Structures are given as structure tokens and as C-alpha cells.
Amino acid sequence: MISNDQLHPVPRTDVGAKRVLEFDFPGLEIGVAEYAEGPTGCTVFHFPRDASMQIDVRGGSPGIDGEYLTVANAICFAGGSLYGLEASTGVAAELFAKRGYSTKWNEIALVSGAIIFDYGRRQNAIYPDKQLGRAAVRALRPGVFPLGAHGAGRSATAGHGESAELAGQGAAFRVIGKTRVAVFTVVNAYGGIVDRAGKVVRGNRDAQGRRQHAAEIVTATGAYYPPTEPRARNTTLTLVVTDQHLDPLQLRSIARQVHASMARAIQPFHSRWDGDILYACSTRSVDDPALDEVSLGVVASELAWDAVLACYDE
């Protein structure tokens, strides 16, 4: 099977997205790079000044490095299953170069990476490697996020097996009082995507083109996923970022609250076949005592649903 070693794919950072989210969030930059030959890619979130971080991991098949960090300079989402974790080393290498190869203790780039399994839709072994991670860092810019099948979501899907449909990456942003909140997600879910009216809008599509809830499929067939069919590997990766100053306990609480809330938008969620990972980060530049972490989590939870609904193109 053809992989990076034989093909030597060329990074692409001008991804030609039809839809983008434009937002104002000082202290956050985003870079996207892809290999059209996969297709696969990575999405990098960069904090020019250190951001505090907490991580919530659920489901049976997560792929992550740097999970013990509580401060981050960058987070890299990538396709390519565990091989795609190489992209995060490229992010660190490019940041190392941008810092003049300084080896001072407080100037070491702190990078965490997480991956999705995106081989289900393609017949090759191309993965996001160190070169692609470096390209994404060179493409960093503020205030723009491509929506749909781009970056880490280039070959992401919602649903499983023959019922799966192309998904991608989504995002949403809001200002509440003095506080900015943004949610970015790459949906490669075992479950289908559900809108606020309770309708399945992506995934779980049968041969007649009808989309069904998991419970309807079980009622009709006796199983959501036939035991004889090979199990797919899935994962939804999410970043919640705010400029509100939060302590580690508050940030961890928001991570859990938002991750749990996403089961409204993706059903089923956190299954054995998923490896769902949510990062919660704070740039700590705003202090608003009137906005407690539960209320902030409520806002972020609604944005997470918006982000999931924005991940796919019709």
C-alpha cells in the first residue's frame, strides 16, 4: 500500500474552503495543512503566549500525546491514526525553529497532539507527518478557520460502515460579556450527527437515502452495528478555548461539562469504537467574576453543538 515513503506528498495550505468561520480571538492562531494524495491533513492551534490546558478523554480508542501537559503552546489535530501523531513533532520542530532553536527551559515548545482514524474512505496509507505539521505552523494566522472536509477532518466521517457520510471540522464563536469563547471540533464519529430538532442530519444513511436514529436502527435490525461487519475506528477531537482566567479545577470542570453535552449532537457518543478527546484551554487574559465556570460551560456546550453542525458540507 502506498505511503509517504513511496509517494513523498507535497503539503497544501491553501485548502480552498467554501465556508470559513471568521472570529476575533487575540492570542490564538490556526494553521491547516493537507495532503491531497490521502486525502488527509492536520489542524494546528497555536497560542503565542502559553495557555493553560486540561484534557478530557473518553471512549475506547483514543490516540494522544502530551496528555499530561497543563500548559500548551500548540495543539495539533491530525488524521492518519497513531502514525499521524508525527505531525505534532513537526509542529514542535517548526516552533523550535521560530524560537531560534533556544533550549532554555522556559522556551521549550509545549505541544500536544491527537488523532483520528481516517483510513476508512481511502485506499492508501498516506498520513500527516512531520513535514505537514511544519507546513501548518508556517500557515498560522488569526481569526480564520476553514469549515468542512479540511485539515484534520479531510477524510472524517459521521456514522459507520456503509451508513457513514463525509463530515469534517466545524467551529463556533461567541462573546459573552467581556469573555470570548470558541469551540473547534473534528467529527469522525461512530454515531450520527443530530440537530436541535432531534433529526439525524449526517450519518446513519440507509440504501434508500434515509437517515435514522441509532434506536430506530436497533429496533428494525436488532443491532446498531451488525456483528459480522468489520468494526470501524472513530474519534471526535474538540478544543474549547476561552480568554477567561480559570484555575485548573474550573477548566477541568468545563472540559467535562462540554464533552458530556456533545452527546446531544452525536449519538451514540464515547463508544468503545470512539477515542473522543476534548481540550479546554484558557489564554487567561480576561477576568470576569460575574461569569462562573458552569455558566461558561453552558455557553461552550451550545457552541460545541453549533460546531458539530458546521462540520459538514451539503
Active site residues: 235
> Are 40 and 149 in contact, with CB atoms under 8 Å apart?
no
Round to whole Å and give the CA distance between 215 and 196. Answer: 17
> Are 90 and 140 in contact, with CB atoms under 8 Å apart?
no
Round to whole Å and give the CA distance between 243 and 215. Answer: 39
Q: How many helices (H) and strands (E) does the chain have?
A: 6, 16
Round to whole Å and give the CA distance between 79 and 61. Answer: 14
- β-strands 40-59, 71-78 pairing: antiparallel
Closest CA to 118 of 184, 49, 63: 63
Sheet holding 192-194, edge to edge: 200-202, 192-194, 266-267
Question: Residue 57: left if φ>0, alpha if ψ -120 to 50, beta else—which one?
Answer: beta
Q: Where do the H-state alpha helices sit in 51-129?
A: 86-98
